Structure 1
Amino acid sequence: MLQASHRVEANVVLVGCGGIGKSSLIYRYANGRLDSKAVPSGLDITTKDLNTSPCRVVLRVWDINGVNQPGNKTRLNDKNAFAAVLCYDLTDIRTLFHVVNWIEEIRSTTPDCVLYLCGLRNDRVARKDDDDPPADSPTQTTSSTSVSPNELHHYHRWALTRHHRPGYFSALREFCLKYDVSGVYETSAVTGANVQALFTEIVSEWIARYSDQ
Structure 2
Amino acid sequence: MLQASHRAEANVVLVGCGGIGKSSLIYRYANGRLDSKAVPSGLDITTKDLNTSPCRVMLRVWDINGVNQPGNKTRLNDKNAFAAVLCYDLTDIRTLFHVVNWIEEIRSTTPDCVLYLCGLRNDRVARDDDDDHPPADSPTQTTSSASVSPNELHHYHRWALTRHHRPGYFSALREFCLKYDISGVYETSAVTGANVQALFTEIVSEWIARYSDQCNIDRTNPDGKCAIM
Give 1:105 shift. 1.2
In structure 1, C-alpha distance between the alignment counterparts of 2:60 and 2:11, rounded to whole Å: 5
1:117–1:23 distance in 2 versus 1, CA, 3 Å? same
Give 1:173 shift. 1.4
1:4–1:109 distance in 2 versus 1, CA, 3 Å? same
Q: Is the 8 A contact 1:17 1:98 kept in 2?
A: yes
In structure 2, C-alpha distance between the alignment counterparts of 1:161 and 1:55, rounded to whole Å: 34
What whole-Å deviation, never above 9, does each CA across 1:37-56 have from its counterpart, x for those lacking one?
11111100000000011110
What whole-Å deviation, never above 9, does each CA across 1:192-211 have from its counterpart, x for those lacking one?
00000000000000000001
**Residue 155 of structure 2: SS of its match in structure 1?**
helix
Give 1:135 shift. 21
In structure 2, C-alpha distance between the alignment counterparts of 1:146 and 1:163, rounded to whole Å: 20
Higher relative contact order (CA 8 A, sep 6+): 2
Which 5+ residue runs of structure 1 have no aligned equivalent?
none
Q: Is the 8 A contact 1:73 1:109 kept in 2?
A: no
Q: Is the 8 A contact 1:18 1:67 kept in 2?
A: no
What whole-Å deviation, never above 9, does each CA across 1:48-98 have from its counterpart, x for those lacking one?
000011110000000001663100134245221000000000010121000
Q: Is the 8 A contact 2:15 2:85 kept in 1?
A: yes
1:6–1:139 distance in 2 versus 1, CA, 3 Å? same
TM-score (norm. length: structure 2): 0.76
Give 1:190 shift. 0.2
Q: Is the 8 A contact 1:17 1:67 kept in 2?
A: no
What whole-Å deviation, never above 9, does each CA across 1:90-121 have from its counterpart, x for those lacking one?
01012100000011111122110000000000
**Residue 25 of structure 2: SS of its match in structure 1?**
helix
In structure 2, C-alpha distance between the alignment counterparts of 1:43 and 1:205, rounded to whole Å: 25
Q: Count the aligned residue pairs.
A: 213
1:82–1:153 distance in 2 versus 1, CA, 3 Å? closer
In structure 1, C-alpha distance between the alignment counterparts of 2:149 and 2:12, rounded to whole Å: 28
Find runs of 4+ consecutive structure 1 residues off by over 6 angstroms. Answer: 127-142, 144-162
RMSD: 6.6
TM-score (norm. length: structure 1): 0.81
Which 5+ residue runs of structure 2 have no aligned equivalent?
215-229
Give 1:157 shift. 18
Q: Is the 8 A contact 1:13 1:61 kept in 2?
A: yes
Aligned residue in 2 for 1:18: 18
In structure 2, C-alpha distance between the alignment counterparts of 1:96 and 1:128, rounded to whole Å: 14
Give 1:172 shift. 1.5
Q: Is the 8 A contact 1:185 1:194 kept in 2?
A: yes
In structure 1, C-alpha distance between the alignment counterparts of 2:129 and 2:165, rounded to whole Å: 10
Q: Is the 8 A contact 2:27 2:33 kept in 1?
A: yes
1:158–1:142 distance in 2 versus 1, CA, 3 Å? farther
- After the TM superposition, which of the residue ranges 185-194 and 134-143 deviates more from structure 2? 134-143
In structure 2, C-alpha distance between the alignment counterparts of 1:51 and 1:151, rounded to whole Å: 30
In structure 1, C-alpha distance between the alignment counterparts of 2:129 and 2:37, rounded to whole Å: 34
Aligned residue in 1 for 2:131: 131
Q: Is the 8 A contact 2:41 2:66 kept in 1?
A: no
Q: Is the 8 A contact 1:159 1:165 kept in 2?
A: no
